[in-house]
A and B are shown apart, each in its own frame.
Chain A
Amino acid sequence: MRPAWLKGAGRSWRFWLAIIVLILVTVANLKVAPWRLPFTKGNRDFNVAQMIESRRWVEAAPVVLTNHFRKVTVTNTGDRFKNGFGFERELVGIFGVTAVHRKNNPVDVRDRLSASQLASFSKYKSTVHCSGRTSKYCGFQIFWDQKQAPRDATFVGLLTSDNAYGLIEASLLKRLLGGN
């Protein structure tokens, strides 16, 4: 027995087409279609700068530096479309990096510093925009010495491997290279 409010819809091919298609699509969505969690739960981080750092965003470098240092100057980032890496101008302004000198390419330390020498000073690991040979993304780390880094710091761009860049606090770089 059909409800009265359907009013003869049962004899309409349009009614059955709509019902069948919509039900089939629902079942297919639930059973066949690719699925991911639409959103996450349990977030307790609403501070914008902290949130950007914790998300390991490809553009996060200026934000990470200003999260940890009072005044930050950055050198040797180079040109991200040539031999350098991305260090976004808008984010430099928004989060208050004091100065960025992009003219010089990153210091090539591939043959001078080993990964193990740098590893203990790595404080942030992510990716960065670059003109890599196989991808527009390169590996990226930020290095500083938690005990000796000054509050007002200068960071120097590094080429750490063929597909990875880094930023290192200037006095730490001097110490590591001097020790070689």
Chain B
Amino acid sequence: MLTELLVLSLIAVGGVSGAWLLGARNTWLAIPVGVAIAVVLRNLSFSALNLVGLRQFASVTFFVLLAAVALLAAWRARVGLWRPLSLAVGFALLSVLTTRWLGFLGTSHGDSLWILSFSHLIENNGSMEILNGHTSIKRGFAYPLLLALGPNQQFLSGLTPYLFAALASAAIWLVTTLLAKYDWRQVALIAGLVLLATFSSVMPLRSIYYINGHTLAGIGMLLAAGATVLAIRDGALSLQNTLVACVGIFTVSSSRAEGIALAALIVLPLIAARFIARWQIIALISSATVSLGVWLATYHSYIIHSTHLNWVVFDALLVGLGCLPALRWLDWLRHRLVPIALISMPLVLVLAELRYSRDLAKGNRSLFANLVLGQGFWGFGLVAILVLIAIFSARKWSSLTSEHRTLVIITASLVFGSLIAKMLDGGQFGHPTLGRLGWSDSLNRMWIQSFGIFLVAAVVALVQSIWQPTSEQTS
């Protein structure tokens, strides 16, 4: 237990210190940004050492990097750092106590055991070439890399609940920032009721200890969404929000196979904005393409092999092509990306339903049963908050606040995007599907990733539709 506590505390302290150094000084923001920074450091250091055949030093290198960041922050910060640090270490302690002392463990599931197997390979310095198949690419990179930091032959059990705490922190940061002008009791009333309506079902609670990359992806998605919403509200993408978005996008893109697509949908309103600088577009997109490229290359992925390209050429093309939206002569298209996405995604779904009606019939029934009849263990809360967001947004579009509008766009994009991602997952084998009955269906679990954004969107939509701001202070 002590080893695990030390490792998780070092991840918490190093990550939060890095966040503080990069300008994320808000206590609630520092914790999820800290997780994303830990992901960036771990992914890049492991991959670089793997490239030169020094994988065995990857864990030590990661710990040294974290300790160096923490020392640098301690030297620079003096007293300003203690609040996020103590909260992060508190979360780490609580996480380790619940898993190691009380023995809380996520529901047993095949995907979890696959992920643990990959973490076992990484911990034991096994050849990464083993991971070149379809199974491994679907289970993510960042999450098994972090799980592999556990004690000898064991996984880092406290990591999963710590990630959930970081996701909750990200949601608190975004809600309190966006609703800073409202009476805190109004926000607390609505947020409390939304939490009751959702956490009275199984899935939100299950995701606390469930071993899979969904929660980690959710952290990255919420950070990217937060930076997008704030930038559009302020009409400018600050350096701090650029960094928050970049580490968030990097995290999502290496956590789940569909991560890069979901990250793209989240930052689409930002990429399409007129105020964003070209270097910021390149930074945002490259955060995704570099993250995915490093993952695919490290796993010797069949995706690279199928192109018959050397991994260096493949990654260079991936990153290079990703920068195309920053070209001036594509601005006419870039500025119209949001309506194009919001029209094309439902259109694709409708056309697919017509073209593959027989293949999709069972999936449609499963989707309905999982989300509306409670078979997916989301109770009635997930659908209820999506319906409430829709009802409370069904007004003259310009009368809604900027943050309300952006959150509605992101929510709609994620709903349609998740459905299409699921359809494509089955479609690559010639049989598009929208899932099967039960909690473990991958689409049903994918809602965990978007859940934090849906909650924030619901609270913002409800509070801003019921009350007026009480003060003119800005966060």
B344 interface residue (CB < 8 Å to A): no
- Bound CA–CA A35/B341 (angstroms): 37
* Cross-chain contact B103 with A42 (CB below 8 angstroms): yes
List chain A residues, Cβ under 8 A from B206: 38-39
- Bound CA–CA A177/B155 (angstroms): 42
List chain B residues, Cβ under 8 A from A3: 185
Complex: chain A residue closest to B1, CB-CB? A46
From A18, A37, A43, B388 is in contact (CB under 8 Å) with A18
CB distance from B366 to the nearest CB of A (A): 14
B183 interface residue (CB < 8 Å to A): yes
Chain B positions 460 through 475: 1 when the CB is less than 8 Å from some CB of chain A, otherwise 0:
0010011110100000
* Cross-chain contact A41 with B130 (CB below 8 angstroms): no
The stretch from B189-197, B256-264, B328-336, B447-455 touching chain A is B189-197
Which residues of B in the span 210-240 have a Cβ within 8 Å of any Cβ on A? 210
- Bound CA–CA A34/B462 (angstroms): 28
A115 interface residue (CB < 8 Å to B): no
Complex: chain B residue closest to A34, CB-CB? B374
Complex: chain B residue closest to A56, CB-CB? B108
Complex: chain B residue closest to A55, CB-CB? B108
The stretch from B41-49, B109-117, B273-281, B426-434 touching chain A is B109-117
Chain A positions 45 through 58: 1 when the CB is less than 8 Å from some CB of chain B, otherwise 0:
01111011001011
Q: For this complex, into which size category does the number of interface residues on chain B fall?
A: 35 or more
Complex: chain A residue closest to B470, CB-CB? A7
* Cross-chain contact A33 with B120 (CB below 8 angstroms): no
* Cross-chain contact B126 with A46 (CB below 8 angstroms): no
Interface of chain B: mostly helix, strand, loop or mixed? helix
Contact of A90 with B130 at beta-carbon distance under 8 Å, contacts A5-B183, A36-B202, A57-B110 already known: yes
CB distance from A11 to the nearest CB of B (A): 11
List chain B residues, Cβ under 8 A from A146: none
List chain A residues, Cβ under 8 A from B202: 34-36, 38
Contact of A29 with B201 at beta-carbon distance under 8 Å, contacts A5-B185, A48-B153, A90-B136 already known: yes
The stretch from B168-176, B378-386, B401-409 touching chain A is B378-386
- Bound CA–CA A14/B183 (angstroms): 18
* Cross-chain contact A40 with B104 (CB below 8 angstroms): yes
* Cross-chain contact B186 with A59 (CB below 8 angstroms): no
* Cross-chain contact A18 with B462 (CB below 8 angstroms): yes
Contact of A39 with B208 at beta-carbon distance under 8 Å, contacts A22-B197, A28-B379, A49-B153 already known: yes
* Cross-chain contact B110 with A58 (CB below 8 angstroms): yes
* Cross-chain contact B392 with A14 (CB below 8 angstroms): yes
* Cross-chain contact B107 with A39 (CB below 8 angstroms): yes
Contact of A30 with B200 at beta-carbon distance under 8 Å, contacts A25-B379, A49-B120, A93-B127 already known: yes
- Bound CA–CA A33/B108 (angstroms): 21
Contact of A17 with B391 at beta-carbon distance under 8 Å, contacts A25-B380, A34-B375, A58-B110 already known: yes
B310 interface residue (CB < 8 Å to A): no
* Cross-chain contact B377 with A36 (CB below 8 angstroms): yes
* Cross-chain contact A41 with B104 (CB below 8 angstroms): yes
From B117, B186, B203, B205, A90 is in contact (CB under 8 Å) with B117
From B102, B127, B155, A48 is in contact (CB under 8 Å) with B155
List chain B residues, Cβ under 8 A from A91: 117
* Cross-chain contact A9 with B379 (CB below 8 angstroms): no
Q: Which residues of A contact B (CB under 8 A)?
A: 3, 5-7, 9, 12, 14-15, 17-19, 21-23, 25-26, 28-30, 32-44, 46-49, 51-52, 55, 57-60, 63, 88-91, 93-95
Q: What 3 A-B pairs are tightest by C-beta distance, nearest first?
A: A93-B130, A38-B205, A29-B379
Other A-B pairs, 6, CB within 8 Å; known A25-B197, A60-B113: A29-B381, A33-B377, A39-B104, A52-B113, A90-B133, A91-B117
Can you list 9 pairs linking A and B with CB atoms under 8 Å apart? Answer: A14-B392, A18-B462, A18-B466, A22-B384, A26-B200, A28-B380, A52-B113, A59-B110, A59-B114
